[in-house]
Structure 1
Amino acid sequence: MELLAAALDEEGVAVVRFEFPYMQKRREDGRKRPPDRQPVLLDCFSGTLAQVREEVGESVPIWIGGKSMGGRMASILASISAPVDGVVCYGYPFHPPGKPDRWRVDHFPRIHCPMLILQGTRDPFGKPGELEARQPELGGCSITWLDGGNHDFKPLARSGQSQDDLIREAARQTRLFIRQARVPDL
């Protein structure tokens, strides 16, 4: 996330980062713990969104997003009418690895703002062939594939690309998508 936040900043996309409660506890005591339940995650995300909105005012466009589960929570928040201009997800967990029958996109049709997912073509949480067959379930969501990337955008060594290359490409595609959605000041 640090590399992605820096790459987005280089592209002129300001980023506000935060930690979910379970991540804060993990950082404080070093013990690995499972994620909080969805209501706790959404409450934390909503609180952060409200704080940012209060700080920047109503006229500044706000896009929300995140990596993996954070992106999923951003998309769910947008589906329940969060006041946002768009959503960007990095490595969306379409289904648990090895369980392509457990899709996590039921809320996508309720998202009424622009949404972009940047996904590695080797991501075990959702690969191109799996998504082609489920296109109608994705609503108006746009997907940009990062060739050869896994869930963390790390490509195979023989590809000639690095993880940094794919992260920078994800940041560039984010800026282009936001600009295309005609959000002012980018």
Structure 2
Amino acid sequence: MSAPIRETVREIETPGGPGRAHVRRPSSPRGTVALGHGAGGGLGAIDLAIAREVLVGAGWAVVLVEQPWLVAGRRVAGRPPTLDAAWVPIVEALLTGRGRLPRPLVLGGRSAGARVACRTAGPLEADAALLLSFPLHLPGQPDKLRAHELALAPDPSWVVQGATDAFGTPDEVRPHLPHGTTLLEVPGAHSFPRSSRSALTEALTRIAGMLPG
């Protein structure tokens, strides 16, 4: 009989208002994976859902973090500094106090959430990162790179990138990977379609077997 999975939702105050942490944890987790959503969508993205399913199945506590702007019902994300300012206290609250989640800590998310994870990996002393659809540049603007953010990813890190991602194809992202970062290419664009489910599951299962913990 498999161990029970506990699910909770915590509302946590941040400088930008309350955020929400959707926690799913086994009874004795190997560590904690915190994942953030993108700037144009919520927690229902297929890659976030599969990541949570696979990683919880591998024994990790997984937290999907809902940024304050989304909790408040706004349609547009805040500026990057406001996202970081909200993300850090949410993750810190999860790792401290009664009922705290254990380290090692893996930070990640999709698109804008992946950028937040990279920028805050140092302050939060992350042990690894899981970056889904990292937006290396805006569509049609390959000269305006965010490689400096990707460079902040901890060692080890993993990038799962769609083969036709207009925000940066695997071939565009690969030259900018920092030391200790592995890229896995899967079919699909920046927002993965349902047809990518099998490939995403395979890629995330591989990553789950390599995470430190």
Q: Shared topology, TM-score over 0.5? A: yes
Does the CA contact (< 8 Å) of 2:129 and 2:153 recur in 1?
A: no
Q: Which moved more, 1:41-50 or 1:163-172?
A: 163-172
Secondary structure of the 1:163 match is helix
Q: Verify: 1:175 aligned to 2:195, yes or no.
A: no
For residues 127-170 of structure 1, give each alpha carbon's deviation from its aligned partner in whole angstroms, at most 9, with x where no partner exists.
133234xx1x4321221111x22212327xxxxxx232133123
Determine helix, strand or coil for the equivalent of 1:56: coil
Q: 1:82 & 1:97 partners in 2: Cα distance?
A: 30
Structure 1 match to 2:188: 149
Among residues 112, 120, 135, which one is paired with 1:69 in the alignment?
112
Deviation at 1:65, TM superposition (A): 0.5
Return 5+ residue gaps in structure 1 as ranges: 27-31, 156-161
Map of 1:56 onto structure 2: 100
Letter in 2 for 1:130: E
Give the Cα–Cα distance (whole angstroms) in 1 for the partners of residues 49 and 171 of structure 2: 30
Task: Figure out how many residues of one structure are paired with residues of the other and give that number.
Answer: 163
Cα distance in 2 between the residues matched to 1:84 and 1:104: 20
Task: Provide, for residues 8-53 of structure 1, a one-character-per-residue CA deviation record: whole Å limited to 9, x for no partner.
Answer: 3233332111211111122xxxxx5211111211111101110121
For 2:188 and 2:58, the matched residues in 1 are separated by 20
Corresponding residue for 1:86?
128
- Which structure 2 residue ranges, 5 or more long, are not aligned? 1-47
Structure whose residues are more often helix by fraction: 1
- Percentage of pairs with the same residue: 26
RMSD (Å) for aligned C-alpha atoms = 2.1
SS in 2 for 1:60: coil
User: Given that residues 159 and 182 in structure 2 are in contact (C-alpha distance below 8 angstroms), is that contact kept between their aligned partners in structure 1?
Assistant: yes
Does the aligned pair in 2 maintain the 1:123–1:150 contact within 8 Å?
yes
Q: Which amino acid is the alignment partner of residue 117 of structure 2? A: A
Normalised by the length of structure 2, the TM-score is: 0.68
Deviations 1:84-119 (A, max 9, x none): 111111111111111111111213334443111111
